[in-house]
Amino acid sequence: MPDEVAGRSRMADGARAMAIVQYVKELFESWWGRLWLFLATISTLATFLPIYAHGFVVPRWIPPAVAIVAWLFAPYRLYTRQEEEIAQLQKRVTDFKTRKPRLLIHPGIPSAFYVHREPHQAAGGIGMNPLGTYLEVNLTIENAGEINSVVGRFDLHVDELGATFANVTPHPKQYLQTRNTNFALSQDFVSRSDRLLVPGKNFVKVIPPLYLDKSPANDVTALHCVLTAIGTDGETAKATFILSRSDD
């Protein structure tokens, strides 16, 4: 135990010695360090030469000149140090402001749509009029930025419906009445929240179950859609999807 303590003490002494050597090296590598050494030398000579060299007289201008230079030098060093600190702080603030989420959408498969219809009882066994369209958009949202993104809105344009639907929110369902059956819907990766957290430098696989109040014609077998995801900080990403019909 004493040997271990002695070893640590020697290591600490060595570290302090290295720190002093590094400080002296950096001091005399700078112009202000060399200037300080020059002024210190003049001051020392002006103090001790008259003691040992009786015929030597210190010129009258040297003490005030040294004092003036030293008086100007100290505030200048403080000024330059503060300027450097201010520049570093401004750079950190700028870097923080420019650190934003950057969203990308990667379409997945399969993506599908279902025409939601009236139940048999309501339609009297005939007709089964469409009520809307249920979409399962299979996608992966990537956040290539450094900070988290919260996707709080989806906008959707559907070519076959000739319409754009703004702020479409997820409407998860377990069953959906279609033309031929009460269809059981898959629940894998289905988002049940109207907000989706995508961490920075990461991705999230999700199926937002979207519901539209319009339906395509009976002969439409695929929907061509452009989905736009919008984050709460204003970041956006969009991608094109082809959704196949899955209600027949």
Domain boundaries, the chain: 2-98, 103-245
SS3 40: helix
How many CA atoms lie within 13 Å of 173's alpha carbon, on the beta-carbon side?
A: 20
104, 163 contact by CB (below 8 A):
no
What class is the 103-245 domain? mainly beta
Q: Which of 180, 155, 159, 182 is nearest to 168 (CA)?
A: 155
209, 134 contact by CB (below 8 A):
yes
Output phi, psi for 129, to 5 deg.
Answer: -60, 140
Low-confidence ranges of the chain (pLDDT < 70): 1-17, 19-37, 39-40, 42-79, 95-98, 120-127, 248
**Structure token digits, residue 19:** 């720190």
142, 106 contact by CB (below 8 A):
yes
Q: Tell me how far apart the alpha carbons of residues 230 and 227 are, in angstroms, rounded to a whole number.
A: 10
Stated pTM of the model: 0.59
Which H or E run includes 152?
Answer: strand 149-158
State the pLDDT at residue 49.
63
The DSSP 8-state label assigned to residue 81 in this structure reads: H
State the pLDDT at residue 169.
84
133, 215 contact by CB (below 8 A):
yes
The DSSP 8-state label assigned to residue 186 in this structure reads: P
Beta bridge partners of 132: 116
Percent of residues in the chain assigned helix, strand, coil, to nearest 5: 40, 30, 30
Q: Tell me how far apart the alpha carbons of residues 131 and 114 are, in angstroms, rounded to a whole number.
A: 11
SS3 43: helix
Q: Which of 145, 153, 156 is nearest to 198 (CA)?
A: 145
238, 105 contact by CB (below 8 A):
yes
Burial class (CB in 10 A: 0-12, 13-18, 19+), 190: middle
State the pLDDT at residue 137.
92
Beta bridge partners of 143: 103, 202
State the pLDDT at residue 60.
67
